[in-house]
Amino acid sequence: MRSDPSFWLVARASGFTAYLLLTASGLAGLVLKSRPFGRAVRAASVLELHRFIALLALGAIALHGAALVADRTLRMPLAGLLVPGASPYRPLAVAGGVVSAELMALVVVSFPLRRHIGQRTWRRLHWTNYAVFGLATAHGLLAGSDSNQPWARDVYLGALGALVFATAWRALYRPPRPARATKRST
C-alpha cells in the first residue's frame, strides 16, 4: 500500500508560497521606506499591503508546518517545528526555518505594539527581517526537496536578487527634495 502524498505536496507548496510571500512583504517594506515610485504610490496603502502580506506569509508557514506534522512519510514531530534542532530531518536546515519563522512571528506581532515598544526598538526589531529572509533561504535550499530543480533555484535566486536590489536602492538612492516656494516681493 502506497502512502498518500497529499500532505507532502501541501507542505512543499505552502513552503514555497510562504517564501514568496516573505519576499513580497520584504519588497513592500523596502518600497514603503525608499519610495522608488515617488508620491505615485500612497504610503498608507503600501504599509497595509506590507502588513497583510506578512500575515499571509505567517499563515502559509503555519500550513507548511501542519502539513509536515500530518505527513506520515516524513514523521516530523511537533517539537521539530517549535524547537530549533529538534527535527529528525536535516536538523540544522530545519532549525534555520524554525528560527526564521519565530523571528518573523515576533516582527509581525510588533506591528500593533509599535507605540508601546518605541520607534527605536521597533526599527531594530524590523532589521531582523534580513536574518529572517537569509535563514528562510538557507532552510529552503538545504531542507527543501525541490531545491535541486532548476525552477526552485530560479525562485531563490530571483527572490534574493530582488531583495538585494531593493535594499541597495534603499541604501543608495536619495530622492530629490521638493523645491521650496520663494516669496515674491512686489
pLDDT tens-digit readout, 136-150: 999 999 998 899 999
Cβ contacts of residue 176 below 8 Å, gap of 6+? none
Q: Confirm whether 185 is domain-assigned.
A: no
CA distance 49 to 133: 18
User: Residue 182 domain-assigned?
Assistant: no
- Is residue 117, in this structure, part of any structural domain at all? yes
Query: What is the total count of domains within the chain?
Result: 1
Does the pLDDT at position 6 exceed 70? yes
Q: 152, 151, 127: which is closest to 139 by C-alpha?
A: 152
Q: What is the mean pLDDT of residues 153-167?
A: 95
- pLDDT, position 31: 82
In this predicted model, what pLDDT tens digit does every residue of 50-96 receive, in sequence order? 899 999 999 999 999 999 999 888 889 999 999 999 999 999 999 99
Position 184 in a domain: no
Share the mean pLDDT of the chain.
Answer: 88
C-alpha cell of residue 37: 515610485
Closest listed residue to residue 143, CA positions, set 20, 53, 16, 7: 16
Mean pLDDT of 170-180: 71
- Could you tell me if residue 135 is inside a domain? yes
Structural domain range at position 48 = 6-172
Of 182 and 97, the structure prediction assigns the larger pLDDT to 97
In the prediction, which pLDDT does 1 show? 42
Whether 94 is in a domain gets the answer yes
pTM across the whole model: 0.86
Residue at 137 is within a domain? yes
Is residue 10 domain-resident?
A: yes
- DSSP codes joined into one string, 84-121: TT--SSSHHHHHHHHHHHHHHHHHHHHHHHHHHH-HHH
Neighbours of 171 (CB within 10 A): 10
- Give the helix ranges, DSSP H, for the chain: 6-34, 43-70, 78-82, 91-117, 119-127, 129-143, 150-172
- The pLDDT, as a whole number, for residue 48 is 86
